[in-house]
Structure 1
Amino acid sequence: MVNVVFLLLVLLYPNLSTEWPTHTICKEDNLEIDYKSCDPLQDFALSIDRCSDISTHTLNIRAAMLLRHDIKALYLKANLIINGRSVLSYSESLCEPDHPKFLFCGKKKGEQLYYEGPISLGNFEVPQGDYVVSLKLVNEDHFTVLCADFTIKNHQDYPFP
């Protein structure tokens, strides 16, 4: 009976929760990475095998989401936020109609995006400290495809060369 009442409350009052939950990607001694979807209509799934793989610059990830909009073109907007202030902004075109860079370019609304496998960070080092990286992917019609805020707490000591 309690389950029925709870289900009715969820169905009748869908706006009781205004935020998606915070998901932990990894948590080890000196490194923690969490994320929360900032899209009010959609959450997504993302995980990595081990935090320690970040130091090797190659991660095995799993990511999944259901597309709410077509991807003919896709643009990334990223901000590094420290103490509530944006200190660095970055933008890049990930998909263009005549020049797809990734497998998800050209996907249609309603399709599921799923990737499991390695990604390379190249020479990118995860900076030390506590900060937020805000990512937003928008399509050619300026609709949000994905929006997330990543909280990073990196207190690892890296050896100097």
Structure 2
Amino acid sequence: MKTSNVLLFILLLHYINASTEWPTHTVCKEDNLEIYYKSCDPQQDFTFSIDHCPDIATQTFNIRAAMVLKHSIKELHVKLNMIINGKTVLTYSDTICGPGHSTSNFCGMKKGGNL
């Protein structure tokens, strides 16, 4: 019995660590607005929040992002899609950090730092 429990536990841990699904997070969910994001690195997730989410269409709002680096930043890309009623209406893609594109102050930050 104990051997089967240990085997089941090991298989469960292997399944959790082998997952490559990008986590989806909800920033806000209101009657007329839903904002979600996915981290493109399942091993290094980040936090993203917006102040006053219901008022996003009518007021200036603050966006915050944070993470503890598990890897040094050598390359960083952003890709945004605005989807309304299931249809993509806006797509934005850019290289923030990389060879010849290191314009942000966090490019080159080392493992263990806070962003």
Q: Into which bin does the TM-score normalised by the smaller protein fall?
A: 0.5 to 0.7
TM-score, normalization by structure 2: 0.57
Larger radius of gyration: 2
> CA deviation digits over 1:61-112, x for unaligned, max 9?
3322222433355443445568988776543332466775433223112322
1:25 deviates by 0.5
Q: Match for residue 14 of structure 1?
A: 16
When residues 20 and 96 of structure 1 are mapped into structure 2, their CA distance, relative to the original with a 3 A threshold, is closer
Structure 1 window deviating more from structure 2 (18-27 vs 78-87): it is 78-87
Is the Cα contact below 8 Å between 2:21 and 2:42 reproduced in 1?
Answer: yes
When residues 102 and 80 of structure 1 are mapped into structure 2, their CA distance, relative to the original with a 3 A threshold, is same
Higher relative contact order (CA 8 A, sep 6+): 1
Percent identity of equivalent pairs: 64
Amino acid across the alignment from 1:110: G
Distance in 2 of aligned mates of 1:64 and 1:26 = 17
SS of 2:56's equivalent in the other structure is helix
Question: Gaps (5+ residues) in structure 1?
Answer: 114-161
RMSD (Å), alpha carbons: 3.9
Structure having the higher helix fraction is: 2
When residues 48 and 89 of structure 1 are mapped into structure 2, their CA distance, relative to the original with a 3 A threshold, is closer
Structure having the higher strand fraction is: 1
Amino acid across the alignment from 1:44: F
In the alignment of these two chains, the number of paired residues is: 109
SS of 1:59's equivalent in the other structure is coil
1:30 deviates by 0.8
Distance in 2 of aligned mates of 1:78 and 1:46 = 14
Distance in 2 of aligned mates of 1:21 and 1:90 = 20
Amino acid across the alignment from 1:111: G
> CA deviation digits over 1:31-51, x for unaligned, max 9?
111223342323221111221
Q: Match for residue 40 of structure 1?
A: 42
